[in-house]
Amino acid sequence: MKTRTLGSLSVSVVGLGCNNFGMRCDQAATQLVVDAALDSGINFFDTADIYGGTKSEVFLGQALGKRRSEVLIATKFGIKIDDDRPGGARPEYIVQACNDSLQRLGTDYIDLYQIHRPDDTVPIDETLGALRELVAQGKVRELGCSNFSVAQLRAAAETPGPRFVSVQNEYSLFQRQPETDGVLAECGATQTGLLPYFPLASGMLTGKYRKGQPLPEGTRINAESRWLSEEALEKVEALLAFAESRNHSLLELAFAWLLAKPAVSSVIAGATKPEQVKANASIASWEITTSTLATIDKLLS
């Protein structure tokens, strides 16, 4: 498994999203998925305090056990959990949220601590002041953010001290907002790692949804999904044909296209079964050229 730099961290180019833990995966299923990730060379695990109603962090920590030191854990705070944990980015809440996450994860440090979404009610320097104190205390190694705009990234960068080394925004072949809103370019210019979420567009880029075919049984996507349009399905067919003509799968294309962007540090994908993790981990070897990227853009235009 190749790695890329994220601040002081060296993260596997394929990461494991842990949003299914505590929701679609119980502790036993979580253990199988985590073990498969470790065996496949994945060292980057992304979770959040809100995932699984706080159970994701618990299940992940228990599944890692004594192998905690072998991996990099990224977690997030900021979305309301309940009335006692209202979310947001006020300094006192950040301290509480971090301590709670440390306890649930069963560790004394978090490798990448991320604010889940901006909080416009709190000055960014106050938020970063609390986060930097956690770094000084050794509870957090690096800082990250999620769903931030270019303006918000720049405002954060203007405050002194440790900066955000990553931004986690939605990005895929089907959702290219980081290109149009300037976040991708900003990441490249400031050496901030982009961590795409929903890299497979809710499963549309796995190849299991095909034009003129019924939806697979047990699928989470439905006819009202933002993705299931005639245009999107036609694009799936075009991308699938393109990938297969080069002896690759659509899944491989989705990952390789993202990793062809230098600003992307790791592609984080969720999984509920070991075979899904192994498939994701094995597809990061296709290196797409600039000319191929241009061809793909024409297919999607």
Instruction: Convert the pLDDT of each residue in 108-132 to its tens digit.
Output: 999 999 999 999 999 999 999 999 9
Neighbours of 121 (CB within 10 A): 8
**Rounded CA separation 195/266 (Å):** 6
Of the residues 51, 113, 171, 209, only one is catalytic, namely 51
Rg of the Cα atoms in the chain:
19
Nearest Cα residue to 261 out of 179, 180, 204: 179
SS3 296: helix
Residue 197 bears catalytic tag:
no
285 has a pLDDT exceeding 90: no
CATH fold of 3-203+258-286 reads TIM Barrel (3.20.20)
Segment 205-238, tens digit of pLDDT: 988 767 767 767 666 666 556 667 788 889 999 9
Which pLDDT band, with edges at 50, 70 and 90, does 87 fall under? very high
**Number of DSSP helices (H) and strands (E) in the chain, helices first:** 11, 10
Provide the residue type at 288 as one letter.
Answer: I
Helix (H, G, I), strand (E, B) or coil at 146: strand
Q: pLDDT tens, 26-41?
A: 999 999 999 999 999 9
Distance CA 142, CA 68 (A): 17
* Whether the predicted pLDDT of 65 surpasses 90: yes
Half-sphere exposure of 131 (CA within 13 A, CB side): 30
pLDDT at residue 284 above 90? no
Confidence grade of residue 145 (pLDDT, cut at 50, 70, 90): very high
